[in-house]
Structure 1
Amino acid sequence: MQSAESLTDQQAERATAPFRPDLLSDIELLGKLLYPNQPPQHAARQAESLLLSFGGLRELQVASRRSADQRKGLDDRSANRIRLAHELVQRQLKQGLQRGVSLTSPAMTMEYLQTLLRDRSREIFTCLFLDTRHRVIASENLFQGSIDGACVYPRVVAERALRLSAAAVIVAHNHPSGISEPSLADQAITRRLKDALLLLEIRLLDHFVVGDGPPVSMASRGML
């Protein structure tokens, strides 16, 4: 991570160049987002202080979901701007999975689910309802629970799939603990979901578990 002082010359060179956010360092990007009306060097110093206090961008984003931490320099305005930026990313990914989009890329599905579910303080169970060509009909969060788990009712998933005329379903949930390894309870509910959907001739294509690392595909583990 570059220091705020080392950015001065680079910022001067970029002043007359086309704006390229992808070329900004984490410090510069955060500084422009949180302190747009301050001189670049001052904004960078404040951004650097935040990143050092919280440990990185991801940790800062997680902290912004809670109450602002004035002791570490995160005020309400900054926390709200971080939440807004995260919400924009979520909506962009969700639009990428809007009705009619075909899920031909597992990577696209995993990226969406990871952005949607990772770092949540409570367990959320989400469903992607697909047609016969694996095009998205709807993406919905059907159940939400505590930090220890969420109650999932296969009948509710099956009824929703039937109402949407879905031919297939992909489900996912997060582990607030950060451990993405499927539990015995996860495996049991997956079997119940698969059986309930099969009665309606609807396929359960996969069940992803989202934690700190890459989402785990239960289908790829042979758990379906």
Structure 2
Amino acid sequence: MSIRDWPDEERPREKLLRRGAAALSDAELLAIFLRIGIPGRSAVDLARDMLKQHESLRKLLELDQTGFCATPGLGPAKYVQLQAVLELARRYLEETLQRGDAIQGVTDTRRYLLARMRHHPHEVFACLFLDNKNRVIQYEELFFGTIDSSAVHPRQVVKRALHHNAAAAIVAHNHPSGIAEPSRADEMITVRLKEALALVDVRLLDHIVIGDGQMVSLAERGVL
């Protein structure tokens, strides 16, 4: 049955207009993006099949062109459209905390760092440098690969903090596995960075571990 033949309250577009986007399932939201299905499968059916095949919305959205276009009915034009939508979403989130804006709390930091880091397919260690009023000076990605105590060099973090004349810093790294639980190595890195930055009067406010849409603050865990 075509979506056009569904009752109004069950059609994704009408449901979104009536109840808001948050009321829709992942499959319904994806169906609105797809617009049409394929012979014998509605857009919602196709969306459900794609989510099941790729196990999660995140994995589906991170497919390369070959993987995305392997689904019947999806070609380069739809892949380009998806990439544009994802980039617009990232830029929208980044604008919530640009240079000169003061960080008000963990929520602001989470939005900003999720927007910058969650899409990386590999581990990245980043620093958010702040002035004495906790306003953003600069965001920098400093280390890449397996983030452990031997890969993160406190001297380099201190060097960049001095370069920006920062008064405080928030560090973060992502877990591509999607699980944000910090390891013992993450705690050790945090302590080393705090001690190194304190030598040049820079406060380490937090170390945030980012997973798939989730975040753990080591400051809230009592490590700082």
TM-score by length of 2: 0.77
Corresponding residue for residue 217 of structure 2: 217
Query: 1:121 Cα deviation (Å)?
Result: 2.2
Give, in angstroms, the shift of residue 150 of structure 1.
8.4
Equivalent positions of 1:10-29 (< 5 A) are 10=8, 11=11, 14=14, 26-29=26-29
Contact 1:128 1:139 in 2 (8 A): yes
Aligned residues: 219
Judged with a 3 Å threshold, the aligned counterparts in structure 2 of structure 1 residues 52 and 179 are, in CA distance, closer, same or farther, namely closer
Identity of aligned residues (%): 42
Determine if contact 1:118/1:210 at 8 Å carries over to the other structure.
Answer: yes
Deviation, 1:193, is 1.3
CA gap 1:153/1:51 in 2 versus in 1, 3 angstroms: same
Structure 2 CA distance for aligned equivalents of residues 6 and 68 of structure 1: 29
Cα offset, 1:82, TM superposition: 2.6
Relative distance call for 1:173 and 1:187 in structure 2 (3 A) is same
2:6 to 1, 4, 8: 8
Task: Provide the rounded CA distance (Å) in 2 between the counterparts of 1:54 and 1:153.
Answer: 36
Q: Is the 8 A contact 1:174 1:211 kept in 2?
A: yes
Which residue identity does 2:67 align to in structure 1? Answer: A
SS of 1:68's partner is helix
Match of 2:67 in 1: 68
CA contact (8 A) 1:99 1:135 kept: yes
Q: What is the rounded CA distance, in whole Å, between the counterparts of 2:147 and 2:165 in structure 1?
A: 32
Measure the CA separation in 1 of the matches of 2:146 and 2:65: 16
State the alpha-carbon separation in 1 of the partners of residues 13 and 189 from structure 2.
57
Map residues 24-103 of structure 1 onto 2, 5 A cutoff.
Answer: 26-35=26-35, 43-62=43-62, 64-65=63-64, 67-73=66-72, 75-103=75-103
* Structure 2 unaligned blocks of 5 or more: none
1:164 aligned residue: 164
Deviations 1:72-113 (A, max 9, x none): 445444333333222222211211110111111211211332
For residue 177 of structure 2, give the secondary structure of its aligned residue in structure 1: coil
Q: Which amino acid aligns with 1:82?
A: L
Partner SS for 2:132: coil
Would you say the 8 A contact 2:58–2:212 is kept in 1? no
Amino acid in structure 1 at the alignment position of 2:202: I
Q: Secondary structure of 1:155's partner?
A: helix
Q: Pick closer, same or farther for the CA change 1:213–1:86 going to 2, 3 Å.
A: closer
Conserved 8 A contact 2:132-2:168: yes
1:182 aligns with 2:185: no
Report the CA distance between 1:115 and its aligned residue: 3.6
**176 and 55 in structure 1: CA distance in 2 versus 1, 3 angstrom threshold:** closer
Rate the CA distance shift 1:79–1:159 in 2: closer, same or farther, 3 A: same
What is the CA–CA distance in structure 2 between the aligned matches of 1:58 and 1:188, rounded to whole Å? Answer: 30
* Structure 2 CA distance for partners of 1:65 and 1:169, relative to 1, 3 Å: farther
Q: Answer yes or no: is 1:114 the counterpart of 2:102.
A: no
Is the CA contact (8 Å cut-off) linking 2:60 and 2:68 kept in structure 1? no
* CA 1:60–1:147: 2 relative to 1, 3 Å: farther
CA distance in 2: counterparts of 1:13 and 1:94, whole angstroms: 27
Q: Compute the displacement of 1:7 (Å).
A: 7.3
Q: CA RMSD in A?
A: 3.7
**Residue in structure 1 matched with residue 207 of structure 2 by the alignment:** 207
